[in-house]
Amino acid sequence: MSDTGRTITDFSGKWKMKTSEHFEDLLKALGVNFFLRKMAVAAAASPSVEITQQGESLSIHTSTSIRSTQVSFTVGQSFSETTLDGRPCTSFPKWETDSKISCEQTLQKGDGPKTIWTRELTKDGDLILTLSAGDVVCTRVYEKE
């Protein structure tokens, strides 16, 4: 239970990707060049994701064949992270529903499309990661290993 008295969904576990739609389109919308896009798409074809969670604090470790990222945050508190294309941003995660966290990213400097990510746990146990840049939306579905 959270401080608000509602039950918190537990995202903990090791996750493997089942499907991915529009990832390259998302990278293109972020201005990633052709060569890097092709490398990223190939590497991100089978990412491994491990999430550990204690209450409203989550730590997400994502690894692909070319890079690993780690992000830790508490829902309801802003934090610094890096956008998918490597720009520093301030992110603010919040509960959209009991089983969905949405996070708006604000660039710390420079311009770029508005970026948002959400993570949602479905009733059948899948984890849906949605990444958006402007009006381009990438959906990646993961299942527990």
In this prediction, residue 4 carries a pLDDT of 52
Task: Sketch the domain layout of the chain as residue ranges.
Answer: 13-144
Tell me the pLDDT tens digit for each residue of 28-85: 999 999 998 998 888 888 899 999 999 999 999 999 888 888 999 999 999 999 888 8
- For residue 94, give every residue at least 6 positions away whose Cβ sits within 8 Å of its Cβ, in sequence order, or none: 75, 76, 101, 102, 103
Residue 106's Cβ-count burial label (10 Å; 0-12, 13-18, 19+) is: exposed
Q: What is the pTM of this model?
A: 0.90
Q: Which residues contact 16 (CB under 8 A, 6 or more apart)?
A: 46, 48, 49, 142, 143, 145
Query: How far is residue 140's CA from residue 37's CA, in Å, rounded to a whole number?
Result: 17
Could you tell me the pLDDT band of residue 2, with boundaries at 50, 70 and 90?
very low
Q: Where are the alpha helices (DSSP H) in the chain?
A: 23-29, 34-43
Q: Do 66 and 80 contact (CB within 8 A), yes or no?
A: no
CATH superfamily of 13-144: Calycin beta-barrel core domain (2.40.128.20)
In three-state secondary structure terms, 114 is coil
Bridge partners, 127 (sequence order): 121, 142
What whole-number distance in Å separates Cα of residue 112 and Cα of residue 107? 8
